[in-house]
Amino acid sequence: MSDTKEMLERAVRNFPAPPGDADAVCRFVERRNRRRRVGSAVVALTLTAGLVAAAVVVAGDGTGTTPAEGETPRNGPIVFSELHRGLSSWVLSTIEPDGSGYRRLREPAEGVRDYGNDWSPDGTRIAYDRETPRGIWVMRADGSSIERLTSDWALSPQWSPDGTQIAYFHFDSDTLGRTSESAAIWVMDSDGSDGHPVTAPGDDLGIEVDWAPDGRHLLFRRFAPAQPGIYELDLLTSEERLLSPGPEDVSHVQGGDIEVGAPSYSPDGAHVAFDSDRDIWVMARDGSDMRRITSNGPWEGTTTARQPWAEDPSWSPDGASIVYVQEGDIWIIGVDGTNPHPVRETLREEVAPAWGSMP
């Protein structure tokens, strides 16, 4: 027996198991299954209502603010959250892709934590989630006209391509306002009205969501043991489709979870970017042609304590580049993996970038 094993064997004896028996496990499973059955019935009813609303959106005349067909959108500024550690505050800032025009949209203050961001399709407004007071909020691109759309536990707002709706993650909470791990994807009108679930609640949903350019599909991830991976939800039929479980060498872990996050559609809807295994990846929308475009991995041969990590990809409106987070800084890389570079080098931690189009 190795000396490390001996040490650990001694240490593990510090923890006598608390009281419990196999019957308690069986009762726990039965109680949970009962709750799930009740929850499914409720959601089935709400989904019916949601389906009608989604159908209206897809079939609507589209008062869209996206560029006309055939016109390539021009890249605008990037919005991101940055940490002001002394105040424990996350605030939104914008910057041009060439590193110029840095602008803080709000002064940091104790307790202010603004995070998951997205631009409206016309590039004039920013939706984001705030922790206190909690909810989904919207502001103009210059930081003015701040408006609270919801007062629930909600994260990661994403505008629909026509700008009329916002998808987000809604967390269940009890009467005391405490959040649970169970969340569902909700959709509301962009004025905050008519919020409703479009998926059943579950504790296996990632908290990132993206809206397809066709206005009909949402991209999200599940880390359920049965079939973890990147999924696409059809808002018209409520059907979910597994696009990919992620890179083969980090997926299919028996019993659960994979490390795939932040899936994001390309502007033409033909490709999906995501993070996994310390890198940014791009694949075709059908899950084929998967390739790693940053080069932090593979892990083999990593011997230093420093292990760089890339995450949170977001496409440029023209589809040629991707903005992402590399070890707390905002970076840009070509979709073919060329020319990775920081937008701005700073000691301050920066996260959750979203690339807007030129208004």
Binding site for other proteins (CB under 8 A): 2-5, 7-18, 20-23, 25-26, 28-29, 32, 83, 85, 88, 90, 113, 115, 131, 181, 207, 223, 225, 249-250, 253-259, 277, 297-303, 305, 307, 351
In the complex, least distance from residue 310 CB atom to other proteins, rounded to whole angstroms: 15
The DSSP secondary structure of 41-59, one letter per residue, reads: HHHHHHHHHHHHHHHHHHH
In the complex, least distance from residue 252 CB atom to other proteins, rounded to whole angstroms: 9
- Which residue's entry shows tokens 């791990």? 181
Q: Per-residue b/e over 63-88, b at no fewer than 16 CB within 10 Å?
A: ebbbbeeeeebebbbbbbbbbbeeee
113/125 with CB nearer other proteins: 113
335/352 with CB nearer other proteins: 352
45/305 with CB nearer other proteins: 305
Q: Is the distance from CB of 352 to CB of 81 less than 8 angstroms?
A: yes
160/231 with CB nearer other proteins: 231
In the complex, least distance from residue 153 CB atom to other proteins, rounded to whole angstroms: 12
In the complex, least distance from residue 97 CB atom to other proteins, rounded to whole angstroms: 24
In the complex, least distance from residue 281 CB atom to other proteins, rounded to whole angstroms: 14
Contacts for 326 with CB less than 8 Å, ≥ 6 apart: 294, 296, 308, 309, 310, 340, 342
70/255 with CB nearer other proteins: 255
Q: Is the distance from CB of 352 to CB of 128 less than 8 angstroms?
A: no
Cα-trace Rg, the chain: 22
Q: CA–CA separation, 63 vs 184, rounded Å?
A: 27
